[in-house]
Chain A
Amino acid sequence: MTLMQLSNLCKVFHRGDEEIFAIRDLSLTITEGEFIAITGASGSGKSTLLYLLGLLDTPTSGQYHLRDKATHLLSDDERAELRNAFMGFVFQSFHLLPRATALRNVMMPLVYSTAASSSALNEQQQRERAEAALRIVGLQDRMLHVPNQLSGGQRQRVAIARAIVNSPRVLFADEPTGNLDSKSGKEVLALFERLHSEGVTVIMVTHDPSIAERAHRRLVLGDGALIEDRHAS
């Protein structure tokens, strides 16, 4: 079943009078349940593509349908609600709130939830959901630690717990292992594979070929255009 449909998507930045095409006329179809790695040289537009797919950024032109929604027509608030209900994000530098405990960080998406399934949760239920997510990433013993009391790998696992707490359909990751040692990186990848096996669509930006190997489909960008779209055999 088609999850995302991109047609002639462009993203243009302006630097003075100069127009820079971060994404150039890109068309792409992603089906539900895929495990995709987006690779390419730095500046090739791979992060921009990820943010466009994750509704954190809006295209300059072209169309992007998420399931049957024309996302390029949605309001800012509607995109926020979709991100909350439908997507999870994992960033290279974790992006946790430094003053909040692991538990509070993970609870955050539930606080903003307007979806019928989770907006009715009271604080106790939110806490239980967050604790369950932390157990999935193996941090049940670290729930009340703040980020700087945790190692890099643990922080990234908190971020993953936050990304999955609202049971998203898609998980976006931007260089999720970039700031981690190889052991922690492997643990994070193992988590992604596990989530994928449970039906979550995973879309990951990486420049590391060994990590890209693990994905089932590989999109290679160059100068904002799709130059290779290879499914693993």
Chain B
Amino acid sequence: MRLKETARLSVESLLAQKLRTALTVLGMVIGVGAVVLLVSLGQGAKNYVLKEFEGLGTNLIVIQPGKSDKKTHFGPPVGAAQRKMTTADVAAIERKALNIKAVSGLILGTVSARHEDSISNITVFGTNEQFPEILSILIGRGEYFSREEDEYRRRVVVIGRNIAEDLFGDDEPLGRSIKLNESEFKIVGVLAPMGNKVGLNFDELAFIPTQAALKLFNEDKLFGIRATASSREGMDDAVAEISEILKERRDGEEDFTIITQISMMESLNTILSMLTYVLAAIAAISMVVGGIGIMNIMWVSVVERTQEIGIRRAVGARRRDILQQFLAEAIGLSVLSGGVGVGGATLLTYALHLFLPSFDMRAPWWIVVPAFLLALLVGIVFGVAPAWRASRIETLDALRYE
């Protein structure tokens, strides 16, 4: 039997029972649609998170005290270090490393900030004057504190926009003083609105010089060091340099961990991809359910048309002609469900992108094509058994079947 005739027969037979065809296809449509939607959603989330991270500057290098035996891209447990990390380490890096554009120590803590009757609890970062360059911090008014202000342990502060509003309302905060715990700090700068960056709301942070911070928190060691490489290509050299310098200062012991933005992004990428695949796999299970629906209706169809099979066999259809006919019908069902499911879900992701331009969850081509092929495969796999059964029915039994 020719392919064209087979196709015509299966289309005719599917059209003859429109409601039944639609209901059979529905299960598979939902399954394959869910695969495309969830993968697109996962992909969209991944793009969003990575974009956020990139906003921090891709040349960021994070240096944390302590070394964990296990390889991780998120650093050692806090407090695992034997040796302290100090401002002397920062100075050494600044002096010796050639591939570094900026480096700063980081010390952080929570304090109560007070101005007249207004009080709020805020997070304070102690850094040197190079920190804005490392994390792409934008100053709105005034300026970030200077190297001299750090060295002379001046009590100056740069505050985020929300803190300025909370404490001063509409008044100008520049040049005024606030109390951090019991120490008075002079406001020298206010950040431009920056919003959230990887979970940190910069509008609610305050920055003070490292030396002042060590005193404020009564500490003699840094939380960590942050640096930025001169270029993306110089990243590996910068990491090697920092590692050399710090080891030298620690009698050759590597009691610290260096994490780069790139390695963190790679880890995040892996985690988010894994999440996407798991979601897709769960959705794929519903495709199997859809496939069972197709198989079920194909069994019914074979039984209903037993006499037709007998007639066709009597006038000369071979077993493989019957097999082909019923398999084509199952394939027709899966092409229909694959087309509607994949097409519908893809259109939906494009429509959602129109309403949420910042969140790009448009279905990537690498899921659209395989999802359709998977639907086709499921249809074929579940269509084979009924079609095989149809082709094995004995001609005379089929002819006499009522």
* A interface residue numbers (CB < 8 A to B): 51, 56-57, 76-77, 80-81, 83-85, 89, 91, 95-97, 99, 108-109, 111-113, 123, 162, 166
Indicate if B362 sits at the interface (CB-CB under 8 A): no
Partner of A111 from B5, B16, B399 at Cβ < 8 Å = B5
Contact call B311/A95, Cβ cutoff below 8 A: yes
**Nearest Cβ in chain A — how far from B154, in angstroms?**
93
Contact call A97/B311, Cβ cutoff below 8 A: yes
A77 to B16, CA, bound (A): 29
The number of inter-chain residue pairs (CB within 8 angstroms) is 58
Which one of B2, B311, B314, B320 has the highest number of Cβ atoms from chain A below 10 Å of its Cβ? B314
Indicate if B226 sits at the interface (CB-CB under 8 A): no
User: Which A residues lie within 8 Å of B399 (CB)?
Assistant: 56, 91, 95
Contact call A84/B316, Cβ cutoff below 8 A: yes
A83 to B313, CA, bound (A): 9
Contact call B395/A56, Cβ cutoff below 8 A: yes
User: Which B residues lie within 8 Å of A113 (CB)?
Assistant: 316
Indicate if B46 sits at the interface (CB-CB under 8 A): no
**Nearest Cβ in chain B — how far from A121, in angstroms?**
10
**Nearest Cβ in chain B — how far from A162, in angstroms?**
7
Contact call B396/A51, Cβ cutoff below 8 A: yes
Contact call A77/B396, Cβ cutoff below 8 A: no
A109 to B1, CA, bound (A): 10
User: Which 6 A-B residue pairings sit nearest by Cβ, starting from the closest?
Assistant: A84-B316, A109-B315, A112-B316, A77-B318, A80-B318, A112-B317
Contact call A84/B315, Cβ cutoff below 8 A: yes
User: Which A residues lie within 8 Å of B320 (CB)?
Assistant: 77
A7 to B395, CA, bound (A): 24
Contact call B315/A112, Cβ cutoff below 8 A: yes
Q: Which residues of B in the span 305-355 have a Cβ within 8 Å of any Cβ on A? A: 307-308, 310-321
A113 to B399, CA, bound (A): 20
Partner of A81 from B4, B16, B308, B318 at Cβ < 8 Å = B318
Instruction: Answer whether A56 and B314 are a contact pair too, CB < 8 Å, given A91-B399, A95-B307.
Output: yes
List 10 other contacts, CB 8 Å, given A84-B316, A89-B315: A51-B396, A76-B318, A77-B320, A80-B313, A81-B316, A109-B316, A112-B318, A113-B316, A123-B5, A162-B315
A84 to B396, CA, bound (A): 16
Contact call B315/A99, Cβ cutoff below 8 A: no
Query: DSSP class of B's interface residues: helix, strand, loop or mixed?
Result: helix
Indicate if B12 sits at the interface (CB-CB under 8 A): yes
User: Which A residues lie within 8 Å of B319 (CB)?
Assistant: 76-77, 80
A123 to B5, CA, bound (A): 9
A80 to B391, CA, bound (A): 13
Contact call A112/B321, Cβ cutoff below 8 A: yes
Contact call B312/A83, Cβ cutoff below 8 A: no
Of all chain A residues, which has the CB nearest B2? A111
**Nearest Cβ in chain A — how far from B67, in angstroms?**
74
Contact call A112/B307, Cβ cutoff below 8 A: no
Contact call A95/B16, Cβ cutoff below 8 A: no
User: Which B residues lie within 8 Å of A111 (CB)?
Assistant: 1-2, 5
A202 to B320, CA, bound (A): 30
Contact call A89/B321, Cβ cutoff below 8 A: no
User: Which A residues lie within 8 Å of B312 (CB)?
Assistant: 108, 112
Contact call A56/B321, Cβ cutoff below 8 A: no
A81 to B311, CA, bound (A): 14
Can you name 11 A-B residue pairings with CB atoms under 8 Å?
A56-B314, A77-B318, A80-B313, A83-B314, A83-B315, A83-B316, A91-B399, A95-B307, A95-B310, A95-B399, A166-B316
Instruction: Answer whether A112 and B1 are a contact pair too, CB < 8 Å, given A76-B319, A97-B308, A99-B12.
Output: yes
Of all chain A residues, which has the CB nearest B395? A56
A76 to B322, CA, bound (A): 13
A148 to B327, CA, bound (A): 28
**Nearest Cβ in chain B — how far from A84, in angstroms?**
2
User: Which B residues lie within 8 Å of A96 (CB)?
Assistant: 311
Contact call A85/B307, Cβ cutoff below 8 A: no
A207 to B396, CA, bound (A): 21
A99 to B315, CA, bound (A): 17
User: Which B residues lie within 8 Å of A95 (CB)?
Assistant: 307, 310-311, 314, 399
Contact call B311/A80, Cβ cutoff below 8 A: no
Q: Which residues of B in the span 43-58 have a Cβ within 8 Å of any Cβ on A? A: none
Of all chain B residues, which has the CB nearest A105? B311
Of all chain A residues, which has the CB nearest B16? A99
User: Which A residues lie within 8 Å of B316 (CB)?
Assistant: 80-81, 83-85, 109, 112-113, 166
A108 to B395, CA, bound (A): 16
**Nearest Cβ in chain A — how far from B72, in angstroms?**
65
User: Which A residues lie within 8 Å of B307 (CB)?
Assistant: 95
Of all chain A residues, which has the CB nearest B308? A97
**Nearest Cβ in chain A — how far from B375, in angstroms?**
27
User: Which B residues lie within 8 Å of A166 (CB)?
Assistant: 316
Of all chain A residues, which has the CB nearest B402? A93
**Nearest Cβ in chain B — how far from A91, in angstroms?**
7
**Nearest Cβ in chain A — how far from B171, in angstroms?**
85
Of all chain B residues, which has the CB nearest A48? B396
Of all chain B residues, which has the CB nearest A96? B311
Contact call B315/A56, Cβ cutoff below 8 A: no
**Nearest Cβ in chain B — how far from A212, in angstroms?**
23
User: Which B residues lie within 8 Å of A108 (CB)?
Assistant: 311-312, 315
**Nearest Cβ in chain B — how far from A111, in angstroms?**
5
Which one of A76, A80, A95 has the highest number of Cβ atoms from chain B below 10 Å of its Cβ? A80
Which one of B2, B307, B321, B395 has the highest number of Cβ atoms from chain A below 10 Å of its Cβ? B395
A56 to B296, CA, bound (A): 30
User: Which A residues lie within 8 Å of B315 (CB)?
Assistant: 83-84, 89, 108-109, 112, 162
A91 to B395, CA, bound (A): 14
**Nearest Cβ in chain B — how far from A130, in angstroms?**
12
Of all chain A residues, which has the CB nearest B391? A76
